[in-house]
Amino acid sequence: MSFVQSNNPFKKRTKAKGGGTTKVCLPKAKIASMSQSERQAVIRAKRSAGKAGKYKRSSKSNVTGTSSGGSLKTWVKQDWRQVGNPSKKCGEK
């Protein structure tokens, strides 16, 4: 049994689209320190990126000050919550 593989150089390749999640997760302490307008700006940016089929939100909505004061290990172990609903953990639906 042989398989024939088509290597047509003119065949158009399609790029995988994101359209992924519209959730934004940040450490619980950072969410508590943000104003309502700051939270809404981050949420809007992520939702619009998701609708456009992108994986990442606009860099204009980047959030600073999420450091836990040291190593990557302690940064990852923070209590990560959804910005839209801080009562839910990052992976919950």
2-29: pLDDT as tens digits: 555 556 666 665 555 555 667 889 999 9
| Contact assessment for residue 84 and residue 50, using Cβ atoms and an 8 Å cutoff | no
User: Does the reported pTM lie above 0.75?
Assistant: no
3-state secondary structure at position 89: strand
Look over the chain and give the mean of its residue pLDDT values, rounded to a whole number: 80
In a domain, 24, yes or no: yes
Summarize the confidence of residues 59-72 as an average pLDDT: 81
Question: 68 vs 59, which has greater pLDDT?
Answer: 59
* pLDDT (average), residues 80-89: 93
Residue 33, domain extent: 20-57+79-85
Choose among 29, 28, 55, 26: nearest CA to 41.
26
Asked if residue 32 is part of any domain, the answer here is yes
Which run of H or E residues covers position 75?
A: helix 72-76
Q: Is residue 34 part of a domain?
A: yes
Residue 72 in any domain: the answer is no
Q: Which pair of tokens denotes residue 32?
A: 């508590």
Q: pLDDT at residue 1 above 70? A: no
How many domains does the structure of the chain reveal? 1
In a domain, 46, yes or no: yes
What is the predicted pLDDT for the residue at 16? 55
Is residue 42 one of the residues assigned to a domain? yes
